[in-house]
Amino acid sequence: MAEHLASIFGTEKDRVNCPFYFKIGACRHGDRCSRLHNRPTISPTLLLSNMYQRPDMITPGVDAQGQPLDPHKIQEHFEEFYEDIFEELGKFGEIESLNVCDNLADHMIGNVYVQFKEEDQAAAALQALQGRFYSGRPIIADFSPVTDFREATCRQFEENNCNRGGYCNFMHVKLIGRDLRRKLFGRYRGYRVSRSRSRSVSPRRRDRDYDRREKDYRDRDYRGNGRRHDKYDREGGRKRHGSPRRSRTRSRSPVRGGSEERRARIEQWNREREEKQ
């Protein structure tokens, strides 16, 4: 029984613990969720809830006065925020990953996830952030259970075909330019994207993959024309036609299946485990 409970912990088959909180550190039901949110007492990852306030908060690509925004200005605004947060939190230790959500749902919009190399570095940063403000708003920080962002991010969004748009329950990570990324993360010896997202990846291959994702991200036109993410994904999404070489490496980022498909796979894994025992 104990082994069975351990095998389903954090999955959709777990009727006790919330799988979304376990994977993403956030749940759309909040405190009203029928399942438990096991908040860690220590973690290398911090969640700064709703911290990034994008200039087109109400309608993507449009400011509060209803005027269209230049996509380049929106990106500049984001990269200034990203660098500001990185420099401040980098005082407490080596940052392995800094991810900002581009989602629109209340429990995920503007969420900032920072993963340090060591847990004590995250603890020191959390202590220093207590009672502080950013742009006139209080910083809400806490430890996050997320340590593997491969499970937290929407792989369909990375492949430019998420049909849930900005209201997807998995992370849509907002990207920065390669030059800024090298400037910030390049200060660390043995610089890599993140141990949670890439293992033993060569610098050349890492930069090529990041450039591909960055180009696809910048090519999305919903930020400049005011259309909502879900409408863009249904009607205006670009379809990439990868080369044979790219198709061979795509197995590293498989498209996430639907809930029924994932439940079926989990049940099959559990049956195979029981048969082996």
pLDDT digits (tens, 9 = 90+) for 36-53: 888 899 999 999 999 999
| Mean predicted confidence (pLDDT) in 196-225 | 49
**Higher confidence at residue 263 or residue 122?**
122
pTM over 0.75: no
Closest CA to 262 of 12, 10, 5, 8: 12
Percent of the chain with pLDDT over 70: 64
pLDDT digits (tens, 9 = 90+) for 247-260: 444 444 344 445 56
pLDDT digits (tens, 9 = 90+) for 107-136: 999 999 999 999 999 999 999 999 999 999
Start-end of H helices in 90-228: 119-129, 149-152, 155-158, 178-185, 203-219, 222-225
pLDDT digits (tens, 9 = 90+) for 70-100: 999 999 999 999 999 999 999 999 999 999 9
